[in-house]
């Protein structure tokens, strides 16, 4: 069965499967088999470096849900995801609305706003860690000058502040994705919709709530979900900013998986945590797929 | 009622700027843009400026905004006293290798995904999306076992192949969209004129998809260029480190490596990204909007 | 209800002048059609009346109020857009109710008005649908109902029929005119379709390149075109033009008939016609050929009603004629129409 508009010829089937085979092979090797391996590993007591160990059933999972560290990481992950995504989406919406206006130098403004998203995470972390330095960091200097704070803040070294700091840097790095996604849909709203609304008597505020929001809502939600998924399993930015500390204040589930596997060398337990992480993610993924299908069906 | 077409005298010009609401909204737009751009752009500007400061100024309290003395010392230290050139070369090899592998394998597959719908292909397309969404920390555990078993630990080839786990789905997904945008009728007309399917694809579709291939190549390269976790776990020796790994190891060791050198390194890592951005500016916006690159 | 006046209005965009020094006034309740080829500035003119564009020069009046700088919502105008601009996420009911909702009208009043408007355009049974579930004609009627629901002083319609197929367009035109007669609101209607313009307009404003070429009733515009542009833009096939030195002679295809068709005593101008192709259209035949003899060799078209018994021969010089009252004269250099003096033309033609 060929796609409508494209004729299926003799030999097409062979061509299709032949060209897809290398991709399928690589994906099976790099995603399929590893996923199964994790399931196996999670049921074994195995230390990092060994390929297998004694079978222990669900012990690793039972350990995880009783382990305070796991619950801390779960809570941290929730704070990290919720804080990042909500701020990213609000900021993204605001700046997308701004960039949707036509004004001079808009291209330049867009380039600057997009820049954090394009630079490597390690660059973002380096720059911010210099800026967040307790003593020589420019952020403390500015805030002290403006009398917003009375003494230098320990941005990354205070357990109560570290998560806030990491979220701030994460938002700076990743919110442009929301800007671009929302800007894309904003620009697809036909101008006549607004003209009709203006003639019908709608104020700018009413135009936003009655035309813009309903129009962009599906894309807005989809973007939010996508950001939730990616923020959820984000590892490098947190690990590079704080290493999960101080006092585990920024240890999220992916960071915990890494620490278990490559600091504590408890590979089986790391695999169990990874699978629990994946289980939560799978729910989000399932919602994502349902929404995508709905959007496709509507077209 | 009289209707007249008059041509006498010119009435005064109506200027939009005379409208208070118009001025108000303009001022608001420019002010908020200025505010947003300054806050968002500041860290990168600061990184650039400080990379030209001599060490004593980098630790000055309070710091000056501009260097009192501009210097390239940090950059020359970076290249002469550290392994930065090695890291740079390794990153080029890894990102280039992953890009070529993904484009060659994924480009072909994406063509079929776009043009045919035989048994199992829809499911495969879903599988591609799922593998793109898999957490890195999940698959890095088993990949580590394989890498060790196969004796590939601390090699660039292990990095190239493991990067493909994410760059290949990216390529498949994006290239399929680009191929979808090229009407099948163009190939069909080539086939009616005597081309085989394969010839039609090479002569008609591939040239048309070339801009798409280039921008997918850029996304892929960028993703592999920025990749940190695989490098962190698979690479141990200095001579095989990539840029993110190398730079990350310096962070916090500011007794050995000066902040100036680190910032100079950060600038150097950013330059290829900026070059690529300029290369594919327009498509990048479209691509990102379609829900593509994770931008690590 | 109110009349609309446009006074010395120009619109200059960054790269071109869209409308240049246009003035016109409509009567209360009049249906005025702005007609012209695409890019002639008719839509820009309409958008300036709506308040979507600020005129670069000149003023717009609705009733006796100067509205040049007013926001669209303060002008009490309604507009039907080319693609209807229905709100895709709202039902037909909510689309029609939109102008009332944004004004904060209460539910009871809204409901009454929506049902009244829907009834008027025959949409009562479709109120729950979404725009994408409707045909082009139904969408057009929804847009009409939406523009109607708050008793506007002026109706502005921007090519509202151009997205319909040919058959539907005919019946929609009919409905539109009946509808306007019923509500009696001053209407400005933009189109590039001369058939629509002739069928709908009390008066037609013919525009070209940002300027008004002629304003008049459909009859005036058809029978007495102000210049050669109007003469060739209106009528299908267009008026035949034969340049004879300083003066260009014009006659409609249906006025060019076999000489035998005229009474011997009729005041006619003889034309020698050499036909090279005949097109049969059912109701009439189009004869494509060239005028020769006393006239400079020029391509012309004659339209013969099928009721006229005539068997045209190809490639032969034939005796045709035009009744003198049907002849129009234009200044060749400026294209402007010259006053009718029938004898003068006849004599000049006869002498070559």
pLDDT tens digits, residue range B213-226? Answer: 888 888 888 889 98
Closest residue in chain C to residue A211, using alpha carbons only? C87
Cα of C149 to nearest chain A Cα, Å:
10
Q: What is the pLDDT of residues A254-264, one digit of tens each?
A: 999 999 888 88
User: What pLDDT does residue C342 have?
Assistant: 52
Q: Which residues of B touch C (CB under 8 A)?
A: 1-7, 9-14, 16, 19
Characterize the bridge pairing of strands C77-80 and C65-66: unpaired
Q: Answer whether A90 touches B (CB < 8 Å).
A: no
Q: Which whole number is the average pLDDT over C325-330?
A: 89
Decide if pLDDT at A8 tops 60: no
Are C23 and B10 inside 8 Å of each other by CB?
Answer: no
Q: Where are the alpha helices (DSSP H) in chain A?
A: 12-27, 33-42, 59-66, 68-99, 106-118, 121-131, 138-145, 159-187, 191-200, 204-207, 213-232, 236-242, 253-262, 267-298
Are C8 and B10 inside 8 Å of each other by CB?
Answer: yes
User: What pLDDT does residue B3 have?
Assistant: 42
Name every chain B residue with its beta carbon within 8 A of the beta carbon of A31.
127, 130-131, 134, 139, 165, 169
Are C69 and B7 inside 8 Å of each other by CB?
Answer: no
Q: Which residues of C touch B (CB under 8 A)?
A: 3, 7-8, 21-27, 30, 54-59, 68-69, 203, 211-212, 215
Decide if pLDDT at B26 tops 80: yes
Residues 203-232 on B with a CB inside 8 Å of A are 222, 225-226, 228-229
Tell me the C-alpha distance between B180 and C114, whole Å.
Answer: 43
Q: What percent of chain B is modeled with pLDDT above 70?
A: 90
Choose among B2, B9, B14: nearest Cβ to C55.
B14
**B43 closest CA partner among C170, A2, A132:** A132
Q: Which whole number is the average pLDDT over A198-222?
A: 90
Q: Where are the alpha helices (DSSP H) in chain B?
A: 20-50, 55-58, 73-81, 84-115, 121-133, 136-149, 156-180, 184-192, 197-200, 206-226, 229-234, 243-250, 259-289
Q: Answer whether B199 touches A (CB < 8 Å).
A: no
Name every chain A residue with its beta carbon within 8 A of the beta carbon of C102.
197, 200-203, 206, 210
CB C123 within 8 A of CB C135: no
Query: Who wins on pLDDT, B274 or C302?
Result: C302
User: What pLDDT does residue C190 have?
Assistant: 94
Q: Which whole number is the average pLDDT over B232-242?
A: 91
ipTM: 0.85
Are C99 and A195 inside 8 Å of each other by CB?
Answer: no
Query: Who wins on pLDDT, B285 or B183?
Result: B183
Angle formed at CA B16 by CA B12 and CA B18, multiple of 5 degrees: 75
Q: Which whole number is the average pLDDT over C239-243?
A: 90
Q: What is the pLDDT of residues B139-194, one digit of tens each?
A: 888 898 888 888 888 899 999 999 998 899 989 988 888 888 888 888 888 888 87
User: What pLDDT does residue C184 have?
Assistant: 85
Which of B35, B289, B292, B294 should we substitute to test contact with A (largest number of A Cβ atoms within 10 Å)? B289
Mean pLDDT across chain A: 87
Decide if pLDDT at B104 tops 80: yes
Query: Who contacts B233 (Cβ-Cβ below 8 Å, separation ≥6)?
Result: A262, B140, B144
Q: Answer whether B134 touches A (CB < 8 Å).
A: yes
Q: Chains with 3 or more CB pairs closer than 8 angstroms to C?
A: A, B
Name every chain C residue with its beta carbon within 8 A of the beta carbon of A198.
51-52, 71-73
Query: Who wins on pLDDT, B98 or C164?
Result: B98
Are C85 and A193 inside 8 Å of each other by CB?
Answer: yes
Which of A68-77, B83-92, C51-60, C144-153 is predicted with the least confidence, judged by mean pLDDT? C144-153
Query: Between B136-149 and A33-42, two packed helices, what is the crossing angle to 10 degrees?
Result: 90
Cα of A51 to nearest chain B Cα, Å:
6
Q: Name residue, tokens 């695999």.
A: A271
Backbone conformation region of residue A132, classed left if phi is above 0, alpha if psi is from -120 to 50, else beta = alpha
CB B53 within 8 A of CB A130: no
Tell me the C-alpha distance between B53 and B93, whole Å.
Answer: 31
Are C25 and B3 inside 8 Å of each other by CB?
Answer: yes
- Report in angstroms the alpha-carbon separations of C301 from B227, C238, C322: 75, 9, 13
Q: Answer whether A17 touches B (CB < 8 Å).
A: yes
What b-and-e string marks burial along A35-64, b requiring 16 or more CB atoms within 10 Å of the CB?
Answer: bebbeebbbbbbebeeeeeeebeebbbebb
**C318 closest CA partner among C263, C264, C276, C266:** C276
Decide if pLDDT at B252 tops 70: no
Choose among C78, C83, C102: nearest Cβ to A202.
C102
Closest residue in chain C to residue B6, using alpha carbons only? C23
Choose among B1, B6, B16: nearest Cβ to C8.
B6
Cα of B178 to nearest chain A Cα, Å:
16
Cα Rg, chain A, nearest whole Å:
24
Task: Report the Cα–Cα distance between both ends of chain C, in Å, rounded.
Answer: 56
Closest residue in chain C to residue B11, using alpha carbons only? C58
Are A193 and C87 inside 8 Å of each other by CB?
Answer: yes
Which of A171-185, B105-119, B178-192 is predicted with the least confidence, judged by mean pLDDT? B178-192
Tell me the C-alpha distance between C103 and A37, whole Å.
Answer: 63
Q: Which whole number is the average pLDDT over B222-239?
A: 90
Query: Who wins on pLDDT, A213 or B7?
Result: A213
User: Could you check whether the bond before residue C237 is cis, i.e. omega within 30 degrees of 0?
Assistant: yes
Decide if pLDDT at A46 tops 60: yes
Q: Chains with 3 or more CB pairs closer than 8 angstroms to B?
A: A, C
Residues 42-61 on A with a CB inside 8 Å of B are 48-49, 51
Cα of B296 to nearest chain A Cα, Å:
6
Q: Answer whether A221 touches B (CB < 8 Å).
A: no
Name every chain C residue with its beta carbon within 8 A of the beta carbon of B13.
56-57
Are B3 and C22 inside 8 Å of each other by CB?
Answer: no
Are A199 and C50 inside 8 Å of each other by CB?
Answer: yes
Are A195 and C85 inside 8 Å of each other by CB?
Answer: yes
User: What pLDDT does residue B288 have?
Assistant: 54
Are B43 and A172 inside 8 Å of each other by CB?
Answer: yes
Q: What percent of chain A is modeled with pLDDT above 90?
A: 34
Name every chain B residue with its beta carbon within 8 A of the beta carbon of A240.
228, 248, 251
Closest residue in chain A to residue C147, using alpha carbons only? A200
Query: pLDDT category, C243, cuts 50, 70, 90?
Result: confident
Mean pLDDT across chain B: 83
Which of C48, C51, C52, C53 should we substitute to test contact with A (largest number of A Cβ atoms within 10 Å)? C52
Choose among C72, C82, C87: nearest Cβ to A211.
C87
Closest residue in chain B to residue C27, using alpha carbons only? B1
Q: Which whole number is the average pLDDT over A201-224?
A: 90
Q: Answer whether B238 touches A (CB < 8 Å).
A: no
How many cross-chain Cβ pairs, A to B, lie less than 8 Å apart? 290
Query: pLDDT category, C11, cuts 50, 70, 90?
Result: very high
Query: Between B121-133 and B84-115, two packed helices, what is the crossing angle to 10 degrees?
Result: 150
Name every chain B residue with its beta carbon within 8 A of the beta carbon of C26.
1
User: What pLDDT does residue B1 have?
Assistant: 38
At residue C321, the 3 state secondary structure works out as strand
Tell me the C-alpha distance between A228 and A78, whole Å.
Answer: 10
Q: What percent of chain C is modeled with pLDDT above 70?
A: 96
How many cross-chain Cβ pairs, B to C, lie less than 8 Å apart? 44
Are B14 and C3 inside 8 Å of each other by CB?
Answer: no
User: What pLDDT does residue A254 have?
Assistant: 93
Are B135 and A278 inside 8 Å of each other by CB?
Answer: yes
Are C59 and B4 inside 8 Å of each other by CB?
Answer: no
Are C8 and B5 inside 8 Å of each other by CB?
Answer: no
Q: Answer whether C57 touches A (CB < 8 Å).
A: no
Q: Which whole number is the average pLDDT over A203-229?
A: 90
């Amino acid at each position: 069965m060929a796609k409508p508009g494209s004729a299926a010829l003799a030999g097409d089937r062979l061509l299709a499967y032949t060209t897809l085979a290398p991709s399928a092979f690589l994906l099976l090797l790099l995603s399929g088999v590893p996923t199964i391996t994790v399931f196996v590993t999670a049921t074994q007591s195995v230390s990092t470096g060994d390929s297998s160990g004694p079978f222990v059933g669900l012990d690793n999972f039972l350990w995880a849900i009783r382990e305070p560290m796991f619950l801390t990481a779960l809570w941290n992950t929730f704070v990290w995801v919720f804080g990042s995504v909500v701020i990213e989406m609000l900021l993204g919406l605001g700046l997308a609305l701004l960039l949707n206006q036509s004004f001079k130098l808009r291209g330049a403004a867009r380039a600057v706003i997009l820049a954090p998203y394009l630079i490597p995470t390690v660059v973002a972390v380096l720059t911010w860690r210099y800026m967040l330095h307790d003593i020589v960091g420019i952020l403390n200097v500015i805030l002290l000058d403006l009398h917003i704070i009375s003494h230098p803040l320990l941005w990354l070294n205070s357990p109560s502040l570290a998560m806030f700091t990491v979220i701030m840097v994460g938002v700076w790095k990743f919110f442009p994705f929301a800007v671009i996604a929302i800007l894309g849909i904003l620009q697809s709203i036909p101008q006549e919709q607004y003209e009709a609304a203006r003639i019908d008597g709608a104020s700018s505020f009413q135009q936003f709530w009655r035309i813009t929001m309903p129009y962009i809502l599906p894309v807005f939600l989809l973007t939010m979900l996508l950001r939730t998924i990616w923020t959820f399993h984000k590892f490098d930015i947190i690990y590079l900013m704080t290493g999960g500390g101080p006092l585990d204040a920024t240890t999220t589930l992916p960071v915990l998986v890494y620490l278990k596997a490559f600091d504590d060398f408890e590979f089986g337990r790391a695999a169990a945590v990874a699978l629990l992480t994946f289980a939560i993610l799978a729910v989000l993924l399932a919602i994502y797929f349902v929404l995508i299908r709905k959007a496709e069906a509507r077209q | 009622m009289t209707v007249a077409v008059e041509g006498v005298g010119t009435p005064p010009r109506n200027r939009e700027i005379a409208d208070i609401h118009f001025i108000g909204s303009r001022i608001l737009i420019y002010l908020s843009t200025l505010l947003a751009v300054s806050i968002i752009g500041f860290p990168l500007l600061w990184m650039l400026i400080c990379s030209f400061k001599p060490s004593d100024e980098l630790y000055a309290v309070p710091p000056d905004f501009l260097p009192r003395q501009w210097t390239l010392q940090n950059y020359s230290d970076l290249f002469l006293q550290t392994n930065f050139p090695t890291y740079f070369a390794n990153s080029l090899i890894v990102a280039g290798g992953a890009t070529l592998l993904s484009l060659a394998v994924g480009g072909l597959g994406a063509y079929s995904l776009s043009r045919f719908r035989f048994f199992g292909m829809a499911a495969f397309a879903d599988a591609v999306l799922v593998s793109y969404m898999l957490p890195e920390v999940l698959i890095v555990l088993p990949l580590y076992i394989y890498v060790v078993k196969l004796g590939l630990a601390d090699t660039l080839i292990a990095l190239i192949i493991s990067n493909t786990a994410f760059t290949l789905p990216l390529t498949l997904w994006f290239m399929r969209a680009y191929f979808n945008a090229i009407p099948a009728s163009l190939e069909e007309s080539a086939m009616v004129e005597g081309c085989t399917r394969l010839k039609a694809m090479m002569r008609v579709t591939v040239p048309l998809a070339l801009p798409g291939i280039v921008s997918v190549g850029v996304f892929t390269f960028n993703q592999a260029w920025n990749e940190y976790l695989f490098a962190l776990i698979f690479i141990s020796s200095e001579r095989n480190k990539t840029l993110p790994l190398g730079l990350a190891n310096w962070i916090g060791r500011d007794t050995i490596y000066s902040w100036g050198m680190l910032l100079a390194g950060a600038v150097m890592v950013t330059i290829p990204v900026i070059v690529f951005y300029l290369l594919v500016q327009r498509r990048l916006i479209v691509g990102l909007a379609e829900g593509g690159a994770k931008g690590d | 209800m109110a009349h609309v006046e446009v006074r010395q209005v120009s619109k200059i965009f960054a790269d071109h002048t869209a409308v240049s020094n246009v003035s016109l006034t409509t009567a209360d309740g009049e249906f005025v059609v702005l007609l012209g080829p695409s890019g002639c500035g008719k839509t820009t003119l309409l958008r300036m009346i709506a308040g979507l564009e600020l005129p670069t020069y000149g003023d717009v009046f609705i009733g006796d109020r100067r509205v040049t700088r007013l926001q669209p919502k303060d002008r009490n105008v309604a507009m039907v857009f080319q693609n209807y601009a229905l709100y895709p996420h709202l039902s037909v009911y909510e689309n029609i109710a939109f102008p009332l909702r944004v004004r904060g009208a209460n539910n009871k009043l809204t409901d009454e008005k929506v049902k009244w408007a829907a009834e008027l355009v025959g949409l009562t049974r479709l109120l729950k649908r979404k725009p994408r579930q409707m045909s082009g004609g139904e969408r057009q009627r929804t847009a009409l109902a939406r523009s109607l629901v708050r008793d506007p002083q002026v109706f502005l319609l921007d090519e509202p029929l151009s997205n319909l197929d040919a058959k539907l367009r005919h019946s929609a035109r009919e409905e539109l005119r009946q509808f306007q007669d019923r509500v009696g609101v001053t209407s400005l209607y933009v189109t590039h379709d001369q058939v629509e313009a002739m069928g709908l307009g009390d008066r037609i404003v013919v525009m070209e390149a940002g300027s008004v070429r002629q304003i008049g009733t459909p009859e005036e515009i058809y029978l007495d075109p102000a210049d050669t542009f109007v003469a060739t833009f209106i009528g299908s096939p267009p008026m035949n033009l034969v340049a004879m030195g300083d003066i260009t002679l014009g006659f409609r295809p249906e006025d060019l008939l076999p000489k035998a068709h005229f009474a011997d005593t009729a005041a006619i101008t003889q034309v020698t016609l050499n036909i090279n192709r005949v097109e049969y259209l059912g109701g009439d035949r189009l004869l494509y050929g060239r005028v020769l003899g006393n006239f400079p060799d020029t391509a012309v078209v004659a339209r013969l009603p099928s009721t006229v018994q005539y068997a045209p021969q190809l490639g032969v010089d034939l005796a045709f004629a035009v009744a003198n009252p049907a002849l129009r004269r234009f200044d060749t250099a400026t294209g402007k129409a010259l006053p009718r003096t029938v004898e003068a033309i006849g004599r000049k033609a006869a002498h070559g």
